[in-house]
């Protein structure tokens, strides 16, 4: 799935993943983040999470996506969000050093053959003691994207690289995802 695949989905409004608002489990997770932290949201889509953080006083939020359509919509909704913190590009080519990276429906969007690369790249983009935090599906799908997964797989995948990995059932998921999501916290 390249940039043109995702752009087409946004243009055709085939975006069932899009919540139209900040994700409730992430609002809980954000309570653990200090205001001056450097935060990356990869595969951000319409980036309601970045909007929520920015409007809550987190000024060092950076978003990246391969599709220009959601980034343009984000800019329109948030004219005071710094342009240099909105990146049109491939997460796997990105460089930087962040305190926190936020995951939501990005892991499930990439081809499963790239999952180890995803974990390595997340680790590389974090500062010492930095954390990857977010929500992952705890279910399979017939055909992806989204590509599903489960706790055992995630534990093995992330523990191979990160020093500490916590995976818990998500209690705040929206109704259609209820019982089918876990929260994940991985410390570099
Ligand atoms: C399923 S959508 C989720 C969007 C957003 N996280 C949300 O929850 O609404 C996956 C997003 O990842 C983006 N994406 C896919 N591969 C990417 C890559 N290699 N680098 C950056 N963004 C990517 C797509 O353009 C799309 O916006």
**How would residue 143 be classed by pLDDT, with cut points 50, 70 and 90?**
confident
Question: What pTM was computed for the model?
Answer: 0.97
CATH number of 3-11+22-187: 3.40.50.150
Is residue 135 in contact with ligand 1, taking CB distance under 6 Å?
no
pLDDT in tens, 55-101: 999 999 999 999 999 999 999 999 999 999 999 999 999 999 999 99
Which range is least confidently modeled, 98-102, 146-150, 173-177, 178-182? 173-177
- Measured from the CA of 145, which atom of ligand 1 is nearest? 1
- Measured from the CA of 6, which atom of ligand 1 is nearest? 25
Residue 93 has a pLDDT of 98
Is residue 64 in contact with ligand 1, taking CB distance under 6 Å?
yes
Is residue 25 in contact with ligand 1, taking CB distance under 6 Å?
no
**How would residue 172 be classed by pLDDT, with cut points 50, 70 and 90?**
confident
Task: Tell me the CA–centroid distance for residue 35 and ligand 1, in Å.
Answer: 25
Four-CA torsion 74, 77, 83, 87, nearest 10 degrees: 0
Domain ranges of the chain: 3-11+22-187
Residue-wise DSSP of 17-78: T--SS--HHHHHHHTTS-TT--EEEET-TT-HHHHHHHHTT---EEEEES-HHHHHHHHHH-
Residue 179 has a pLDDT of 76
Task: Tell me the CA–centroid distance for residue 62 and ligand 1, in Å.
Answer: 14
Residue 60 has a pLDDT of 98
């Amino acid at each position: 799935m390249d940039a043109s695949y995702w752009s087409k989905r946004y243009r055709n409004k085939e975006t069932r993943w899009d919540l139209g608002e900040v994700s409730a489990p992430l609002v809980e997770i954000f309570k653990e983040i200090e205001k001056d932290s450097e935060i990356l949201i990869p595969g951000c889509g319409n980036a309601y999470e970045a909007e929520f953080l920015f409007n809550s006083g987190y000024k060092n939020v950076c978003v990246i996506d391969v599709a220009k359509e959601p980034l343009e919509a984000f800019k329109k909704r948030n004219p005071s969000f710094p342009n240099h913190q909105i990146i049109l590009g491939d997460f796997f080519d990105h460089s930087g050093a962040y305190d926190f990276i936020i995951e939501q429906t990005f892991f499930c969007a990439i081809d499963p053959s790239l999952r180890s690369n995803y974990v390595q790249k997340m680790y590389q983009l974090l500062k010492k003691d930095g954390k990857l935090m977010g929500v992952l599906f705890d279910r399979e799908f017939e055909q992806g994207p989204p590509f599903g997964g489960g706790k055992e797989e995630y534990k093995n995948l992330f523990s191979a690289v990160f020093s500490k990995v916590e995976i818990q059932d998500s209690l705040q998921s929206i109704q259609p995802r209820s019982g089918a999501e876990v929260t994940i916290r991985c410390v570099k």
